[in-house]
C-alpha cells in the first residue's frame, strides 16, 4: 500500500460509521459457543428494524420454507445462530454501502456479480459437503468479496471508471491498476472494512485475499478458494459485472484443495442462475442506488 496515495481512501474509511451496536453484539453472541437461540433473540429484539429485515429474508424464496416464520427465535432455531448472524451482518454491511456514485461502476451489474459469486460459493460449499450451518459463510464471503471497490467508486467515480477501462483494455487484473492509481486496491480496502466492522477472520480474508491466495491461512482456504473460483466463474458467465473483466486461470492445486472439479462446477450453471434470482431479496432489503 502506498500510504501517500491512499491517504484520501484511508480518511474516508476512518470517517465511515462502524456497524450498529446491535450487529456488534450479534457477532459477539453468535460467536460464543455457549450461546442459545434465546440469547441471540434477545439481542436482535433490541433492533425491531433489523429483526423485521431478518424475518423478511428468512421468509423469502432464498430459503424456500413452506411455512411462514413469524418470530426471530423460531428463525434462529430453524437456521442456526451462524446463519442468522450472517443475515444481520450482510444486511448491515450492504446498507453501509448504499448510495454510491454510479460513474465507474454500473451498480446494478456490480451487485448482481456479488450476488452471483455468493450463490456460486454456497453451491460449491454444498457440493463439497460443508455442514449446513456454515453454508451461509460461503454465501456471505462471495457477497462481500469485492465490497472495497465501492469505496474507490464513491471517492472518485470518474477516475475509477478510467481504471476499469484501462484494466479491460490491457486484459490484466483490476487490482494492479487500482494500486497504481490510488495506492491501494479493493482487497486492502476490504481488509480495513472487515477489521473496522469486527468481522470474522475467514470473511476478512475473503474480502482481502481473493487475489492473494498464497497468503490465505490454512483454516480459511476452502472458503476463500471457493470465493476465488466463484468470482472467476461468474465473470466467465457474465453474471453481472464487478468491474474486472480479467478471468484468472484456476490452478489445479486449488481445485484439489477445495475438493471440486471444473466439470462439476459447470454442471451447477442452471442452479446458479436460479439461485441468483432467489437471492435477489438480499439487495431488495436495503437501497442499493
Share above pLDDT 70 across residues of the chain, in percent, rounded to a whole number: 97
Domains of the chain: 3-284 (1.10.3210.10)
Q: Name the burial class of residue 15, with classes exposed (0-12), middle (13-18) and buried (19+) by CB atoms within 10 angstroms of its CB.
A: exposed
3 CB-near residues (< 8 Å, 6+ apart): 10, 183
Q: What is the pLDDT of residues 226-245, one digit of tens each?
A: 999 999 999 999 999 999 99
Tell me the CA distances in angstroms from 229 to 74, 103, 251, one per residue in order: 34, 28, 10
> For residue 191, what pLDDT band results from cuts at 50, 70 and 90?
very high
Handedness of CA 53, 58, 60, 62 (dihedral sign): positive
pLDDT in the model for residue 133: 87
> For residue 99, what pLDDT band results from cuts at 50, 70 and 90?
low
> For residue 98, what pLDDT band results from cuts at 50, 70 and 90?
confident
pLDDT value at 151 more than 80: yes
C-alpha cell at 17: 460509521
Average pLDDT estimate for 276-281: 87
Model pTM score: 0.91
In this structure, of 47-61, 91-105, 146-160, 223-237, the range with the lowest mean pLDDT score is 91-105
Share above pLDDT 90 across residues of the chain, in percent, rounded to a whole number: 64
pLDDT value at 223 more than 60: yes
In this structure, of 124-128, 228-232, 271-275, the range with the lowest mean pLDDT score is 271-275
pLDDT in the model for residue 239: 94
- String of DSSP letters for 148-180: HHHHHHHH-HHHHHHHHHHHHHHT--HHHHHHH
Distance CA 182, CA 160 (A): 9
Q: Name the region of 83 (left: φ>0; alpha: ψ -120 to 50; beta: rest).
A: alpha
pLDDT in the model for residue 101: 59
What does pLDDT average to over the chain?
91
pLDDT value at 102 more than 80: no
Q: What is the pLDDT of residues 38-91, one digit of tens each?
A: 999 999 999 898 889 889 989 998 988 889 999 999 999 988 888 988 888 888
Handedness of CA 269, 231, 111, 87 (dihedral sign): positive
pLDDT in the model for residue 289: 46
CB 148 within 8 A of CB 207: yes
Backbone angles phi, psi at 206, to 5 degrees: -65, -35
Residue 284: helix, strand or coil by DSSP? Answer: helix
Amino acid at each position: 500500500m502506498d500510504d501517500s496515495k491512499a491517504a484520501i481512501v484511508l480518511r474516508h474509511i476512518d470517517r465511515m460509521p462502524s456497524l450498529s451496536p446491535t450487529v456488534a453484539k450479534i457477532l459477539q453472541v453468535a460467536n460464543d459457543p455457549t450461546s442459545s437461540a434465546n440469547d441471540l433473540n434477545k439481542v436482535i429484539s433490541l433492533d425491531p428494524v433489523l429483526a423485521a429485515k431478518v424475518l423478511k429474508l428468512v421468509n423469502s424464496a432464498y430459503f424456500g420454507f413452506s411455512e411462514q416464520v413469524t418470530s426471530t427465535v423460531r428463525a434462529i432455531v430453524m437456521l442456526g445462530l451462524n446463519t442468522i448472524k450472517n443475515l444481520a451482518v450482510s444486511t448491515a454491511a450492504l446498507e453501509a454501502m448504499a448510495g454510491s456514485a454510479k460513474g465507474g461502476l454500473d451498480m446494478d451489474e456490480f451487485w448482481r456479480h456479488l450476488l452471483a459469486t455468493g450463490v456460486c460459493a454456497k453451491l460449491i460449499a454444498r457440493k463439497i459437503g460443508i455442514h449446513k450451518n456454515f453454508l451461509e459463510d460461503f454465501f456471505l464471503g462471495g457477497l462481500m468479496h469485492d465490497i472495497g471497490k465501492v469505496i474507490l467508486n464513491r471517492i472518485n467515480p470518474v477516475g475509477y471508471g478510467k481504471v476499469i477501462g484501462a484494466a479491460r483494455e490491457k486484459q490484466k487484473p483490476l487490482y494492479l491498476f487500482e494500486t497504481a492509481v490510488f495506492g491501494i486496491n479493493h482487497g486492502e480496502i476490504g481488509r480495513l472494512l472487515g477489521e473496522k466492522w469486527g468481522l470474522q477472520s475467514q470473511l476478512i480474508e475473503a474480502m482481502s485475499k481473493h487475489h492473494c491466495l498464497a497468503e490465505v491461512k490454512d483454516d480459511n482456504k476452502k472458503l476463500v478458494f471457493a470465493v476465488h473460483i466463484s468470482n472467476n466463474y461468474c465473470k466467465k458467465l457474465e453474471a453481472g459485472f464487478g468491474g474486472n473483466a480479467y478471468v484468472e486461470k484456476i490452478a489445479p492445486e486449488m481445485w484439489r484443495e477445495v475438493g471440486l472439479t471444473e466439470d462439476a462446477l459447470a454442471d451447477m450453471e442452471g442452479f446458479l442462475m436460479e439461485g441468483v434470482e432467489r437471492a435477489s431479496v438480499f439487495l431488495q432489503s436495503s437501497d442499493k442506488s
